[in-house]
Structure 1
Amino acid sequence: MTLLQACAAHAHIQLVCASLPSLNDTSIIHTFDTSDSPCSNSTRTLWNILLSCGLTLFACTWTAIHTNIPGMDEGRVAITSRRLFLMVAALIVPELMITWATRQFFSARAAAKEFNNEFGAQRTQTYDRDRDISEGTATLLSDISRGSSTPRPAAEFKEWTMTHGFFAWMGGFMLYVDGKPRATLTPDELLQFVRDGYVDMPLISEAEIEDRSKGDGLSKAIALLQLAWFVVQLVARYGQNLPNTLLEIDTLAVAALTCVAYGLWWKKPKDVGCPYIVHWKATGTPRRLTYRHAIISIA
């Protein structure tokens, strides 16, 4: 049991004790016999409690988990097994999921900032330099640059967002050498290869990345509504001086921690199946790549 769950359990014990009548006045059994309550539906069965907690936990974990792009050699069974493993981990050790999501959040922000600083500054310098040249000379230079093989990534570079950073760290850019997949590029490798002119700068917009994502507003809304309805039920029972079970308090604690990870992953694409292809242009072959043969770790 985690620290937050233990605190929640302690608070629940106090809540139940406060809701119990004095032992000198009546029996404990009368506390759970709510037939005298103004609300006739206040009595719940074990099945009702398990169903409510189970749906809430499933909705929160299934929506919150944002896995990385699977490797090209991974099958459907491996992908599903990894997803189930992460869901179980989110239920048992939700703090681990928050740590993982926090690490990815700061890594994505750093990657976006690094690309914007590198190629955004080049684009500004290119624009300022071309603005001082006459129109005829600028046209001539643009014709020459189009015929040249030298890459100009900053000319059409658009600012990277957190979505780009997440996409890069989740295995979103696949290096192809001679028309075959070679490896998944990390943001550092992609930046170095673009800087050296070995590959072209990937011109993919945030809208295109979100189009690859399987997450939509409806699934998010359903999960949030289920969690909100669960919280409203707990608050209503507390207001009516009715006891709540330890399972419900534990479910609320896990759901709250899951929402923290969900917030950190809000800009991360969900369940992307295929990466963006980056073609190798140099004569030699790349070496010392982090992920060879399109193998992607989940960490």
Structure 2
Amino acid sequence: MTLLSYGVLFYIPFIYASLPSPNDTSISTRDVSGSTSNCNTRTLWDIIWGCTATLFACTWTVIHPNIPGIDDGKFTVACRRLCIMIIALVAPELMITWAARQFFSARAAANDIRGWTMTHGFLAWMGGFLLYVNGMPRATLTPDELLRFVHEGSVDMPVITEADIEDRSRGDVLSKGVVILQLVWFVLQLVARHAQNLPMTLLEIDTLAVAALTCVPYGLWWKKPKDIGRPYAVHWKATRPPPSDLTYEYVMSTLA
């Protein structure tokens, strides 16, 4: 059913199919003519707008992408995020798998490295530490690589507090709260209509299913920084020979 979410325009025939016929005695419960004289009356635009706002809140604003490459422009970043949003609409189970892998990887990193929190673990697995050798970017470091280089004395452990990471993150409690309120408002509307035995469209039912599935990665990513533009620099010590087994590459979404 989630395939219908790929585009709102595809839902319009289903919405019309869900509307009562002119001979139906319950036609007053939903009217597409635009009249608002009855509290139960909803226009076609009201249905599409409510579902679109909920789908947008549950996909575009909920997605916590990894840190982009240092040469990626705004257009590339926007396209990558749009692709992730489409995946969230078409195959939300993949989003849940991705978020779950990052959650458990971040928790493992927080347990392995003293003084780290889940936020530090998420930052590391999303490409948050970029190794510089002789002033040039060399590679993004996983938590295991960072810890190994620290033990070898090749780099210093970055001293970053959770507050510093959250300060660079663009996702705060307020923005997350707005998304939750939008979802709660949509769900309450459907619950109220069901309690009053009023009909619902296929668009609304499918939107509810997608919203429910996207709540899972939203919870798993609650401590993950959002929309950080550049990673933290980790400098290789000049007294150590440069690493030969690392080459710079963008940390792909499947890293964690």
Amino acid at match of 2:95: M
The CA RMSD over aligned residues, in Å, is 2.2
Q: CA deviation at 1:46?
A: 1.4
Question: Do the aligned partners of 1:184 and 1:295 also contact (CA within 8 Å) in 2?
Answer: yes
Amino acid at match of 1:267: K
Matched, 1:30 2:17: no
CA distance in structure 2 between the partners assigned to 1:101 and 1:28 by the alignment? 49
CA distance in structure 2 between the partners assigned to 1:70 and 1:197 by the alignment? 28
From 194, 197, 204, the equivalent of 1:248 is 204
Q: CA deviation at 1:2?
A: 5.5
Higher helix share: 1
- Which residue is equivalent to 1:295? 250
How far does the alpha carbon of each residue in 1:164-184 deviate from its partner, in whole angstroms, 9 at most, with x for none? Answer: 100000001010111121111
How far does the alpha carbon of each residue in 1:258-289 deviate from its partner, in whole angstroms, 9 at most, with x for none? Answer: 11110000000000111111110143111222
How far does the alpha carbon of each residue in 1:65-110 deviate from its partner, in whole angstroms, 9 at most, with x for none? Answer: 0000000011111100001111111111111100100000000111
CA distance in structure 2 between the partners assigned to 1:34 and 1:175 by the alignment? 62
How far does the alpha carbon of each residue in 1:189-244 deviate from its partner, in whole angstroms, 9 at most, with x for none? Answer: 10110010000011111111111101122211111111111111111111111001
Where do 4+ consecutive residues of structure 1 move more than 4 Å? Answer: none
Q: Secondary structure at the match of 1:83?
A: helix
| Pair member with larger Rg | 1
CA distance in structure 1 between the partners assigned to 2:181 and 2:111 by the alignment? 35
CA distance in structure 2 between the partners assigned to 1:77 and 1:250 by the alignment? 30
From 221, 224, 242, the equivalent of 1:285 is 242
Amino acid at match of 1:280: W
> Within 5 Å, which residues of 2 pair with 1:263-278?
263-278=219-234
- Which residue is equivalent to 1:168? 124
CA distance in structure 2 between the partners assigned to 1:167 and 1:107 by the alignment? 11
In the alignment of these two chains, the number of paired residues is: 233
- Which residue is equivalent to 1:148? none
Q: Structure 2: which 5+ residue stretches go unaligned?
A: 6-19, 31-36
- Which residue is equivalent to 2:8? none
CA distance in structure 2 between the partners assigned to 1:195 and 1:247 by the alignment? 55
Q: Secondary structure at the match of 2:113?
A: helix
How far does the alpha carbon of each residue in 1:126-180 deviate from its partner, in whole angstroms, 9 at most, with x for none? Answer: xxxxxxxxxxxxxxxxxxxxxxxxxxxxxxxxx1110010000000101011112
CA distance in structure 2 between the partners assigned to 1:293 and 1:234 by the alignment? 50
CA distance in structure 2 between the partners assigned to 1:183 and 1:206 by the alignment? 23
Q: Structure 1: which 5+ residue stretches go unaligned?
A: 6-19, 21-26, 117-158
CA distance in structure 1 between the partners assigned to 2:177 and 2:23 by the alignment? 40
Q: Secondary structure at the match of 1:29?
A: coil
Tell me the TM-score normalized by structure 1: 0.74
Question: Do the aligned partners of 1:60 and 1:259 also contact (CA within 8 Å) in 2?
Answer: yes
Amino acid at match of 1:53: C
From 52, 55, 58, the equivalent of 2:56 is 58
CA distance in structure 1 between the partners assigned to 2:72 and 2:216 by the alignment? 29
Matched, 1:69 2:67: yes
Question: Do the aligned partners of 1:181 and 1:294 also contact (CA within 8 Å) in 2?
Answer: no
Q: Secondary structure at the match of 1:63?
A: coil
From 86, 89, 94, the equivalent of 2:87 is 89
Q: Secondary structure at the match of 1:30?
A: coil
Q: CA deviation at 1:32?
A: 3.0
Tell me the TM-score normalized by structure 2: 0.86
Question: Do the aligned partners of 1:172 and 1:275 also contact (CA within 8 Å) in 2?
Answer: yes
